[in-house]
Amino acid sequence: MKLIVGLGNPGKQYQATRHNIGWQVIAELANRHGVARAKAKFNGEIVEAQFQSNRGLLLCPLTYMNLSGNSVQPACDFYDLLHDDILVVCDDINLPLGNLRFRAKGSAGGQKGLNDILQKLGSQNIPRLRIGVGQPPPQWDAADYVLGKFTTQEQEIVQQTVDWASNAVADWVTHDTTFCMNQYNEN
């Protein structure tokens, strides 16, 4: 059993924002691999998925980004998951738009949703897939930037990135983090 967590914020005003790219990946994965309808559980929406012979759960916390651990921890406890069986998919302003970066462990790097998960699970050894959303323009506040929507010019790149990230997550489920780091991380 693998748990794939897409980070984002609930509410119509946050749909298609940079901060919600994790949810976009979960939605794509649910379309491709979902075997049941979404259910309200663990302070989030969860969808059962099948990746070849591997079972997975797709989770979108509904706790708002900065409290994502309040959704992830109960799911991990219920399914008695090891940290290596969890993948957090989140935005990263330190990566160029469209870049992917898998990591097996490490700090949250300023991503508050990931930080809350690491704190609630008591470990930095949680695999994550960071998706580049680009850096804020000069004079922009980082929070305003990630809560903003992608520009029309960025939309095509974003859709390609969501597709690519969905392929990457499927590879993570069937292989492992090291395989995905070698396959998807750009230098």
3-state secondary structure of 4: strand
* Res 186: pLDDT: 81
Query: Residue ranges of the domains in the chain?
Result: 2-184
Cβ atoms of residues 83 and 104 within 8 Å: no
Q: How much is the pTM?
A: 0.97
Return the percentage of the chain with pLDDT > 70, whole number: 99
pLDDT digits (tens, 9 = 90+) for 49-90: 999 999 999 999 999 999 999 999 999 999 999 999 999 999
> Could you tell me if residue 134 is left (phi over 0), alpha (psi between -120 and 50 degrees) or otherwise beta?
left
Q: CB-based contacts of 38: which residues, under 8 Å, 6+ apart? A: 30, 45, 46, 47
Measured in residues, the chain has a length of 187
* Res 187: pLDDT: 60
Interstrand relation of 86-92 and 2-6 (parallel, antiparallel or unpaired) = parallel
Exposure of 10 by Cβ count < 10 A (0-12 exposed, 13-18 middle, 19+ buried)? middle
Return the percentage of the chain with pLDDT > 90, whole number: 99
CA atoms within 13 Å, Cβ hemisphere of 31: 10
Domain formed by 2-184, architecture: 3-Layer(aba) Sandwich (3.40)
Q: Which of the residues are catalytic?
A: 19
* One-character DSSP codes across 34-61: B-S--EEETTEEEEEEEETTEEEEEEEE
